Every structure is written in C-alpha cells, then in structure tokens.
Amino acid sequence: MILVLVEKTLDGAAVEVSLETLTFARSLSEAGGGVPVDAVVVGDVSDSLRAQLAAYGVRELHHLTGAGFEAFAGAAWASGIETVLATTRSVVVTAAGTPRGGEVLAHLAARSGAEMAANVISFDGLSPFVVRRQVVGGQAVEEMRLATRPTIFTVAGHAVEASPAATPGAAAVVEHAPDVAEADLVARVVSTEEPEPDLSGSLKSARVVVGAGRGAGGAEGFDDLLELADLLGAPLGVSRVVTSLGWRPHHEQVGQTGSRISPDLYIPCGISGAIQHWAGCSAAKAILAINTDPDAPMVTKATHAVIGDLHEVVPAINAEIRRRRAG
C-alpha cells in the first residue's frame, strides 16, 4: 500500500502539490499492479476534503488527532505516520516536496532507518526501485536506488500535473489518536501570522508578468521593477532565492514550488533561469530577459534579451513608457 501525506490550505482543501503527489502515487500504484493509495491528514477533515481525496483515488483517509497534533511539529507528525504504518504496513510513504513534507519524511526516515529521496520527478522500475530526483537546486537530475522498506520520498512540485482518478476511491476515514512523546514536541509551531494580502493580481492568469531575481540586489531593489509592473498592469513574480532571502513574499514566487504561469509576455529581470524557475515559466508565449550574463540559462532560452544591469535597463524602459503615454 502507498501512503501519502496530504497538506491542506487555510480553508481545509488539499494543496495543489499534494494532489500532484497523489497523482504520482497512482502511477506508481498502476506500475505495481494496482496497490491501494491511502492518505494521511492532520487536523480537521471536512466532507469537501473527503470528496476531493476520493476523486483522486484515495481508498482510506487516515486522520491523526489528539493534543500532539494541534500544531505542526515535524517529529510528532512522523510519529503519527509510524502509528499508521504499524496498522497498514505500507511499503511506500511519500509527500509533496514542500518544507513541511520534507521535514516530516526526514524524521520518519531517521526513525525507521530507511533511505529517503527528496524532490523525485519520476521512477524507473520497481525491483529495484529507482527514482530520478532533482539535485543542486534543480540544476541536475540524479538517479537513486531505494533498497530499504518502507520506501520514503518526496515528490518535486509540478513534477506531474494533478489529475483526478478515472475510478474514484472511497476515502473512508480511519481515526488514529496516538500518544506523542514530549521529546517530539520540542520543536513545534507556537504561533502564526496572517500572510500579507496579495495585491499583485493573479500570476496564473496574467497576460504579462514582470519577474525579478537575485539581480535585484536586496529588498530595497524592487522599486523600478514594481513601477514597470504597474505601468504594464502586470503582477510581479520572483524567483525562489528572492523569497528565501525574505526580500519578497512567497505568494509572488514563480517556479517549481511556486506558481506556474503562462502569460503572453514574461519579463524576467536578474533571474538566471535555474531549472526549478524554468518549470514555472516555460509556458510563456514570449520571454524578454534582462540580465548581465549573456550565457545565463534564461537568456539563452528567451525570445529576446537585453544584456545589461536591470537597475539601468528597467528605469530606461519605464521612462520610455511614460514618455510615449504622455505624448
């Protein structure tokens, strides 16, 4: 049996990358002769979530409850999954390649003494079980053999497209209320803050997107880029490094673990174009790259490119747009 950790949005639905992981798990199930796909969920389980997971082929929904699961704690969640494994004897445990999914499965692998692969994009054969995964920040693909059981791995964001199952599952709820050791609660979430409101518009539906990467230089380096976005009526999309450094909020991230966009025009400024970012913008109909490096992957893949410092090029573009509109 294949067990999938499903993460939820604030409104209680399964997150998109978890649905992608369920889709990946079904392909693995089909290759293995149709073994069942089950899900693990922490927190409230609504009827709509059950219906959503049933549509993705989930046979049973293992619901972890109790005081130890009231807030996120990676070790506690791993402990809960161990309880589920003791009853289901699953041979595969997987999750989306999110920070939370990676943390929980790393704890689980350490506890069970099993190998773990992160950011898997595909598999090749079941005996031995061989996966291909992204490494070096997504700039290379590594083949890895997983010989231990249970097989534990995370699925890279957008490695597959989420799609409902041809035959829905029952998503029958199975309750689990395991005891959680105090040691597993040492590192846990103690408070949360509301995210900043997304005032940039919808990245996924925008016809034009202005992109920004490390070349912005810092949190204070986005004024001209935001002005360009405003002049074009476009949202701002950023690379993973920008959000990792805290320069811009995560909802603006384009790429493997962010939004996938398909605008008529994408203007990436100071973005090198690593594979994880390209995964999110490759569907753009035209790309105008602004970069100091003529050999940057984004420049070599762009429809058009301007070789120069974005802090010089973008203000010049803004000035020309304003001039033409004034005339």
Q: How far is CA 169 from CA 19, 26, 38, 45, 56, in A?
A: 14, 11, 9, 16, 7
How many Cα atoms are found within 13 Å in the side-chain-facing hemisphere of 44? 8
At 124, list the tokens. Answer: 């090749």
User: pLDDT per residue over 223-257, tens digit each?
Assistant: 999 999 999 999 999 999 999 999 999 889 998 77
At 2, list the tokens. Answer: 């294949």
Task: Specify the pairing of strand 129-135 against strand 116-126.
Answer: antiparallel
Mean pLDDT to the nearest integer, 315-319:
97
Mean pLDDT, all residues of the chain:
92
User: pLDDT per residue over 8-60, tens digit each?
Assistant: 988 899 998 899 999 999 999 999 999 999 999 999 999 999 999 999 999 99
pLDDT of residue 7: 96
Q: Helices 99-112 and 74-88, interaxial angle, to 10°?
A: 60
pLDDT of residue 10: 84
pLDDT of residue 196: 60
Is pLDDT above 80 for 75? Answer: yes
Name the pLDDT band for 200 (thresholds 50, 70, 90).
Answer: very low
Question: Which residue pairs from 99-103 have beta carbons closer than 8 angstroms and sit at least 24 positions apart in sequence?
Answer: 100/7, 100/72, 100/74, 101/5, 101/7, 101/154, 102/154, 103/74
At 283, list the tokens. Answer: 């569907």
Instruction: Give the count of beta carbons closer than 10 Å to the beta carbon of residue 91.
Output: 15
Q: How far is CA 95 from CA 10, 147, 161, 249, in A?
A: 18, 19, 15, 24
pLDDT of residue 138: 60
Are the C-beta atoms of residues 285 and 264 closer than 8 Å to each other? Answer: yes
Is pLDDT above 60 for 199? Answer: no
At 65, list the tokens. Answer: 């409850």
Is pLDDT above 60 for 198? Answer: no
| Widest Cα–Cα separation across the chain | 73
* CATH numbers and ranges of domains, the chain: 2-185 (3.40.50.620), 208-326 (3.40.50.1220)
What's the one-letter identity of residue 124? D
The closest of 26, 6, 2 to 18, measured between CA atoms, is 6
User: What b/e string do you get for 57-76 counting C-beta neighbours within 10 Å, with b at 16 or more?
Assistant: bbbbbbbbbeebbeebbbbb
pLDDT of residue 286: 96
Instruction: Give the count of beta carbons closer than 10 Å to the beta carbon of residue 230.
Output: 13
Going by the DSSP 8-state scheme, the letter that residue 57 receives in this structure is T
Helices (H), the chain: 16-31, 47-55, 74-88, 99-112, 223-232, 240-244, 275-281, 297-301, 310-326
Are the C-beta atoms of residues 209 and 237 closer than 8 Å to each other? Answer: yes
How many Cα atoms are found within 13 Å in the side-chain-facing hemisphere of 315? 7
Beta bridge partners of 8: 14
